[in-house]
Amino acid sequence: MKITVVCSLGLGSSFMIEMNVKELLQQYNIKGIEVEHVDIATANYLKSDIFICSSSIDFQHPHQESTVICLENLLDIEELELKLRQVIPKEVWK
Amino acid sequence: MNIAFSGLFTDSFFIIGIATFAGLLAQKKPLEKIISGTIKTLMGILIISFGANMVIQAITILMLIIQNAFHIFGIVPNNESIVAIIQIRYSYETAVIMFIGMFIHLLIAKFSSLKYLFLNGYYTFYMAALLGATLVTNISSNFTILLIGGSILGILMSVLPALAQPFVFKITGKKSIALGFFGTFACIFSGYLSKLLFRKKELDHADGEGIFKKKFSSNLFLDSSITVCLFMFVLVVISSLFANKDVLKDLSGQTNYMLFIFKQPLIFSSGFYIILVGVRMFTEEILYAFKGIGDKIIPNAIPALDTPILFTYNPSMVFIGFIFSLLGAVVAIFIQLYLGVRIVLPGIISHFFSGATSGLFGYVYGGKKGAIFSSFVHGILISFLSLLAFPIFSNLGIIRTTFGDSDFSVVSMLLKYVLDFINTFH
């Protein structure tokens, strides 16, 4: 499974969100999920199961159906967990 | 020293390679990760210099066209371009200053009351490049100089988030977030100016919502490479209309000259995109390690992050900030034309990120009027700051570009002033 975090330059905020995702995965001891962060132009050409972005970006993949999580508050780890729980299967969470 | 080692320790590849390798080893990463992390970091540096050449090519041609069309010298402020150009010659100094700066910043956060952890890695890298280039071209390269550069960087990383904090707190309502951004000077300057002029009784978050559709403000401007390309396209087409067709044909050589003109924005934005990829690869491992250490030794630190963390709090002010900052830059061009100096073309990326932030800052104390005023002033300000800081970089052999964000210009000017002052005693 792959999670891609998207922001406009792919340098600043996407990196922070990626760190939060990784922290959650570690906290719940979830293995086998790959996380990376990129800019919007690159994200258009990536295959990923889940895309995460800020609600102001509202990323839509042009070529594939994929789950997109839009965050209202980029750093709110609770919001992130809540939204990730809706898309990552229940069995995975301990 | 043995000839086998000569020049080894002053080579950026060697220093960065060893530092990354040791850092990954210290984090007890698996072997495969250590190898791939080191290789990716080193590839990042090469990719950046490759992108730099494309950007230089496109900017040079655009500026020749503008010069021919309007008989003026133009500058394109773009952080990514100038940092990439600096990397061609000063990547060793940049890397060392960056490592020292991060270390000093951690010390400040640990032992002083400025408990900020500056996690905006690419801005750290850009500031290190600026410090490296300014210090080395004006004095010389030795370890003391790099130590001074690193200390300045570390202090900036701690002080700037603190200066922006009153605004950030008003915007987010949280004490747990800070702004880690090297365009802070212009944003707080224009923010306080609008505080002086416009007093707002109550802060109303809903104010201004819905004036512009959220979608419009975001999708069009957030895909940075597309924005940069379109903007350069407008510039190059307008100036080509006024340029001498024979000159255009000379520039384009064998290629059809219209095709040649249309290609330049594409070359520029491709270079910009390549630089972004390079910066991401280069800073990634270093940032992971930096955040890891920071979290461990300063658990109560406030993360200082890039500007978009503020954008979701009030998207319509983000849009207002961008538009009026750009408008300020256009007004600045007319002032520069009147004064007969070089003109600074709007650095679109800075007007978006920094302009939006100045809009949010202006809104905090002055409401919508404050946001408009603040971002307009901000646009004029960063344009003139880029103009004033430009000569400092021209003796690097960089003739057509400079930094876009305010702190880079302010720091380089202050540094140059101090260095000139010191040099008069020699």
Q: How is chain A split into domains, by residue range? A: 2-92
pLDDT of B28: 86
Separate counts of helices (H) and strands (E) for chain A: 3, 4
B280: domain range? 3-423
- Secondary structure of residue B91 in the 3-state scheme: helix
- Secondary structure of residue B202 in the 3-state scheme: coil
Give the pLDDT mean for B106-132. Answer: 93
Beta strands B116-118 and A34-39, pairing class: unpaired
Nearest to A54 by CA among A22, A80, A35, A36: A80
Cα distances from A81 to residues A38, B292, B299, in angstroms, run 21, 21, 21
More confident residue, B12 or B51: B51
In angstroms, the separation between the Cα of residue B226 and the nearest Cα of chain A is 8
In angstroms, the CA B252 to CA B67 distance is 16
pLDDT of B221: 63
- Do B367 and B207 touch, CB atoms closer than 8 A? yes
- Do B109 and B117 touch, CB atoms closer than 8 A? yes
B214 touches chain A (CB under 8 A): yes
Q: Give how many domains chain B has, as a whole number.
A: 1
In angstroms, the separation between the Cα of residue B204 and the nearest Cα of chain A is 18
| In B30-120, alpha helices (H) | 31-70, 79-111
- Secondary structure of residue A73 in the 3-state scheme: coil
Q: Give B177: exposed, middle or buried? Use CB within 10 Å, 0-12, 13-18, 19+.
A: buried
pLDDT of B210: 41
| In chain A, alpha helices (H) | 13-27, 40-43, 77-87
Write down the residue that tokens 């202006």 correspond to. Answer: B362
Lowest mean pLDDT among A85-94, B177-186, B355-364: A85-94
More confident residue, B175 or B95: B95
What CATH code would you report for A2-92? 3.40.50.2300
In angstroms, the separation between the Cα of residue A35 and the nearest Cα of chain B is 13
pLDDT of B212: 41
Report residue A77 CA to chain centroid gap. Answer: 12
CA angle at B207 for the pair B206 and B212, rounded to the nearest 5°: 95
In angstroms, the CA B93 to CA B81 distance is 18
Q: Determine the residue of chain B that is closest to A13 in CA distance.
A: B306
Q: Which residues pair with B304 in a beta bridge?
A: B118, B178
CB atoms inside a 10 Å sphere around CB B6:
9
CA quadruple B218, B306, B282, B347: dihedral sign: positive
Chain A residues with CB inside 8 Å of B303's CB?
A: 16, 75
Give the pLDDT mean for B165-190. Answer: 91
B226 touches chain A (CB under 8 A): yes
Question: CB distance B312–A54 less than 8 Å?
Answer: yes
pLDDT of residue B190 exceeding 70: yes
Chain A residues with CB inside 8 Å of B219's CB?
A: 57-58
pLDDT of residue B207 exceeding 60: no
Which residues of chain B from 314 to 343 reach within 8 Å of chain A, CB to CB? 315, 318
B122 touches chain A (CB under 8 A): yes
Question: CB distance B223–A10 less than 8 Å?
Answer: no
**Average pLDDT value over all residues in chain B:** 87
